[in-house]
Structure formats: C-alpha cells, structure tokens
Amino acid sequence: MALEAEDIRRLDERAQQVGARIGWDLRFRVAPNPEYVGITAGPSEVFVLGPAKLSDLAAHDIDLDLDALERGERVIRADEDGDPRLL
C-alpha cells in the first residue's frame, strides 16, 4: 500500500511547516521500501519518527505526532552525539 504523490507532498509540506515553527528542518520521507515512511530532522536527515509500515497507520500517526510537536507536547532535542531525537 503506497501513498499517492499528493499525500507525500502534503505530509512533507506539513512536516516542513511544523519544523519551521519548532526550529528543526523536518521532512516526510518514504524509505527505499515504499511501504515504510517517517519523519527526518536536521541536515543529516536522521529519522526521528519511523520508518514505520504504512499498513500500521503510519501516515495517520505521523499527522498526530506533527500535531503534538506543534502544540509542544512532544519535542525534538539533540542527543549527546548531536543527533535529533523525538521525545
């Protein structure tokens, strides 16, 4: 079950908008296996959410996590190596 191009574009734009608000470069990414998706952060594009299987409602969960980030209920912090981590 792959996402349509429009869904990918919408989720990526949403991730970028939320990222701009919270001070991180966020992107919605489809993994090499198109059944898996997630959110990356930072210039090294480390997955902070996922990759998760689409059949497990990953796209819906990503929308919910983006909402939580926007409201400040979840945060992204750099770990001891400087890599972003979703808390």
Task: With a cut of 80, say whether residue 71 has pLDDT above it.
Answer: yes
Task: With a cut of 90, say whether residue 79 has pLDDT above it.
Answer: yes
Query: How would you classify the pairing of strands 26-30 and 36-41?
Result: antiparallel
* Contacts of 62 by beta carbon, 8 Å cutoff, 6+ apart: 11, 15, 28, 37, 38, 39, 49, 50, 52
Name the burial class of residue 84, with classes exposed (0-12), middle (13-18) and buried (19+) by CB atoms within 10 angstroms of its CB: buried
% of the chain surpassing 90 pLDDT: 69
d(CA 5, CA 24): 24
Average pLDDT taken over every residue of the chain: 91
25-63 pLDDT tens trace: 999 999 888 889 999 999 989 999 989 888 767 788 898
4-33 pLDDT tens trace: 889 899 999 999 999 999 999 999 999 888
- Please state the pTM of the whole predicted model: 0.89
Q: What is the pLDDT of residue 3?
A: 79
With residue 12 as reference, give the H or E element that holds it: helix 5-22
